[in-house]
């Protein structure tokens, strides 16, 4: 039986399974190792690699995070999957062949073998923002329980690390032991200066295990920063059926994405890379302006819609954007962000912000994409550090209130109070902070405790705490009395 389809549905469609006999073509040699085989990797890096002019030279071995079944399903199709580009006008289908091996992330020995292989030139990462275990000070939180556990496993040689970065450190140690040449690690998670963040996290873990390995990594591994963009909701059973109906084969692992895709990269590739520019990737010297434009305007608006929208009873981005209260909040946040978007070389015009904002409204409004707010709401304590805090700080430094950025934080706080589940590495501490706002506590105490999880220095600023407290309740019932 094919994975992912209900038995009765599978029986109803007697179709061949997608495999390389349906899509003939040579399998490229593995030269890229990817950590975080999810929908976004397939719609983005795998798609760019598939479209590169030299795709035949660049195969990807992709490792899942925690889901062996996802690796199994893709491996049964020999790594092939269908990318469904979904616009308001309809769907188009493309089979992507760049993933040549799909592996369960728990297979750390295979990861080490591939990262150590001399022909491997690039390691790409989509492991989620929270996986970098950044403390509120922006450095690796070495006290995070899973970091502590991985360090114990690495040091005792008694087992395989379980976090993506612990696994990467283990694999880089194997590359060092094999005497292989330098390579590039390309972070594709939505973090500011994501190459530097990845470097700090990897070097931090390595240094706590084996200081010589940390020195080798600093010396030999190039950490490339990137800004990645393509809206990719979770695949549903209806998507599997749409592929079967339109393509005439059964694909257990299709991915649906918007037509838009963007990839900006900055950094060195000491062992080479695919010609991703053939597929539209852009290589720049100074990535920060592009990164901020995307993180604040797109991801910031996403987080605002995720919390405000759910408080207002909406389910998808398109629904939330159609609500005037949410839309006004987004526009106000964009206005604040815009004041701090300076553009490459200080030339804001190069960022084409009015056109970017206009395009975002169209992208968010694509009702056929069904991008669930619940998916975006995860890991808020980490995401807000990148999406709301820099704008709030810049606004206040300029003598303005930063009320629109503060409203995003207030909406997150209200959401964490009423949500059935809060998926966040700090979920326990969020729940404890929310209890401060109960009958015995005060709204200000609660806001300050929650804010401390996002940014401790802001939590000590009484004006900011007061501002956020005032804004709580904007999108629904005030969860806590002032």
Is 202 or 376 the residue whose CB approaches ligand CS2 more closely?
A: 376
Is 242 or 257 the residue whose CB approaches ligand CS2 more closely?
A: 257
* Nearest-angstrom CA–CA distance, 285 and 281: 14
Is 273 or 383 the residue whose CB approaches ligand CS2 more closely?
A: 383
CA angle, 45 then 46 then 52, to 5°: 85
Tell me the per-residue interface mask from 289 to 308 with ligand CS2, x by CB under 6 A, - otherwise.
----------x--x------
User: Which one of 170-178, 224-232, 325-333, 334-342 is the stretch in contact with ligand CS2 (CB under 6 A)?
Assistant: 224-232
> Rule CB under 6 A: is residue 376 a binding residue for ligand CS2?
yes
Q: Are 267 and 225 in contact (CB under 8 A)?
A: yes
Is 172 or 264 the residue whose CB approaches ligand CS2 more closely?
A: 264
User: 114: which 2 tokens?
Assistant: 């591939």
CA proximity to 184, closest of 99, 117, 118, 270: 270
Binds ligand CS2 (CB under 6 A): choice among 78, 85, 189, 229: 229
Q: Are 51 and 274 in contact (CB under 8 A)?
A: no
User: 176: which 2 tokens?
Assistant: 């060092």
* Nearest-angstrom CA–CA distance, 165 and 68: 18
User: Which one of 65-73, 135-143, 226-234, 412-420 is the stretch in contact with ligand CS2 (CB under 6 A)?
Assistant: 226-234
477 Cβ neighbours under 8 A, 6+ residues apart? none
Is 50 or 383 the residue whose CB approaches ligand CS2 more closely?
A: 383
Question: Cβ of residue 232: shortest distance to ligand CS2, in angstroms?
Answer: 7
> Rule CB under 6 A: is residue 224 a binding residue for ligand CS2?
no
Is 34 or 302 the residue whose CB approaches ligand CS2 more closely?
A: 302
CA proximity to 409, closest of 372, 442, 441, 454: 454
Is 117 or 409 the residue whose CB approaches ligand CS2 more closely?
A: 409
Chain position whose Cβ is nearest to ligand CS2 = 302
Tell me the per-residue interface mask from 434 to 453 with ligand CS2, x by CB under 6 A, - otherwise.
--------------------
User: Which one of 20-28, 84-92, 227-235, 346-354 is the stretch in contact with ligand CS2 (CB under 6 A)?
Assistant: 227-235
CA proximity to 123, closest of 180, 168, 176: 168
Q: Within 365-426, where are the H helices?
A: 373-377, 380-387, 389-397, 403-418
* Nearest-angstrom CA–CA distance, 103 and 15: 26
Query: What letter would DSSP give residue 95?
Result: E
Segment 63-82, which members bind ligand CS2 (CB under 6 A)?
Answer: none
User: 303: which 2 tokens?
Assistant: 């987080």
Is 254 or 443 the residue whose CB approaches ligand CS2 more closely?
A: 254
Is 229 or 251 the residue whose CB approaches ligand CS2 more closely?
A: 229
* Nearest-angstrom CA–CA distance, 280 and 264: 9
In Å, what is the CA distance from 439 to each residue of 427, 434, 448?
A: 21, 11, 17
Question: Cβ of residue 261: shortest distance to ligand CS2, in angstroms?
Answer: 9
CA proximity to 59, closest of 23, 25, 32: 32
User: Which one of 209-217, 244-252, 331-339, 375-383 is the stretch in contact with ligand CS2 (CB under 6 A)?
Assistant: 375-383
Question: Cβ of residue 57: shortest distance to ligand CS2, in angstroms?
Answer: 27
Binds ligand CS2 (CB under 6 A): choice among 222, 315, 375, 442: 375
Q: Are 337 and 300 in contact (CB under 8 A)?
A: yes
> Rule CB under 6 A: is residue 416 a binding residue for ligand CS2?
no
Question: Cβ of residue 298: shortest distance to ligand CS2, in angstroms?
Answer: 6
Tell me the per-residue interface mask from 239 to 278 with ligand CS2, x by CB under 6 A, - otherwise.
----------------------------------------
188 Cβ neighbours under 8 A, 6+ residues apart? 40, 41, 44, 45, 124, 125, 126, 194, 226, 228
CA proximity to 320, closest of 301, 295, 294: 301
Question: Cβ of residue 313: shortest distance to ligand CS2, in angstroms?
Answer: 20
DSSP per residue, 66-84: S-HHHHHHHHHTTT-EEEE
Question: Cβ of residue 364: shortest distance to ligand CS2, in angstroms?
Answer: 10
Is 78 or 229 the residue whose CB approaches ligand CS2 more closely?
A: 229
CA proximity to 64, closest of 49, 50, 79: 79
Is 215 or 359 the residue whose CB approaches ligand CS2 more closely?
A: 359
Binds ligand CS2 (CB under 6 A): choice among 43, 120, 190, 252: 190
Query: Which residues make up the interface to ligand CS2 (CB under 6 A)?
Result: 190, 229-231, 299, 302, 375-376, 383
């Amino acid at each position: 039986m094919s994975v992912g389809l209900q038995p009765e549905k599978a029986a109803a469609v007697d179709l061949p399974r997608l495999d390389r006999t349906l899509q003939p073509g040579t399998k490229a040699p593995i030269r890229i190792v990817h950590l975080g085989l999810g929908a976004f990797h397939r719609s983005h890096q795998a798609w760019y690699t598939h479209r590169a002019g030299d795709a035949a030279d660049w195969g990807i071995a992709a490792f899942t995070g925690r889901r062996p079944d996802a690796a199994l399903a893709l491996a049964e199709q020999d790594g092939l999957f269908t990318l469904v580009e979904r616009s308001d006008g309809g769907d188009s289908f493309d089979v992507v062949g760049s993933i040549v091996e799909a592996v369960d992330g728990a297979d750390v020995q295979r990861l080490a073998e591939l990262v150590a292989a001399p022909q491997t030139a690039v390691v790409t990462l989509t492991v989620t923002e929270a996986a970098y275990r950044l403390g509120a000070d922006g450095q690796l939180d070495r006290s995070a329980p899973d970091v502590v556990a991985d360090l114990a496993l690495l040091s005792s040689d008694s087992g395989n690390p379980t976090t993506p970065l612990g696994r990467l450190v283990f694999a880089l140690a194997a590359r060092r032991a094999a005497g292989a040449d330098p390579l590039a690690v390309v972070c594709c998670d939505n973090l500011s200066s994501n190459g530097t963040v990845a470097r700090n996290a990897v070097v931090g873990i390595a240094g706590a295990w084996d200081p010589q390995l940390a020195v080798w990594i600093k010396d030999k591994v190039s950490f490339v920063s990137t800004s990645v963009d393509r809206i990719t909701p979770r695949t549903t059973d209806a998507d599997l059926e749409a592929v079967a109906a339109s393509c005439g084969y059964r694909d257990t692992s299709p991915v649906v994405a918007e037509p838009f895709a963007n990839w900006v990269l900055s950094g060195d590739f000491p062992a080479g890379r695919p010609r991703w520019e053939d597929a539209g990737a852009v290589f720049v010297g100074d990535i920060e302006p592009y990164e901020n434009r995307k993180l604040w305007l797109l991801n910031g608006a996403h987080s605002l819609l995720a919390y405000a929208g759910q408080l207002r009873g909406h389910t998808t981005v398109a629904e939330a954007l159609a609500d005037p209260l949410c839309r006004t909040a987004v526009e106000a946040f964009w206005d604040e962000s815009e004041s701090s978007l300076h553009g490459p070389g200080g030339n804001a015009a190069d960022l084409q912000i009015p056109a970017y904002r206009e395009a975002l409204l169209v992208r968010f409004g694509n009702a056929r994409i069904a991008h669930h707010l619940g998916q975006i709401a995860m890991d808020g304590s980490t995401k807000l550090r990148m999406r709301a805090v820099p704008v709030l700080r810049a606004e206040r430094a300029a003598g303005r209130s930063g009320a629109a950025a503060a409203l995003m934080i207030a909406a997150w706080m209200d959401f964490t109070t009423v949500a059935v589940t809060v998926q966040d590495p700090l979920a326990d501490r969020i729940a404890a902070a929310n209890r401060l706002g109960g009958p015995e506590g005060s709204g200000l105490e609660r806001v300050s405790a929650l804010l401390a999880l996002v940014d401790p220095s802001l939590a000590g600023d009484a004006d900011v705490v007061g501002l956020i407290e005032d804004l709580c309740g904007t999108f629904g019932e005030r969860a806590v009395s002032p």
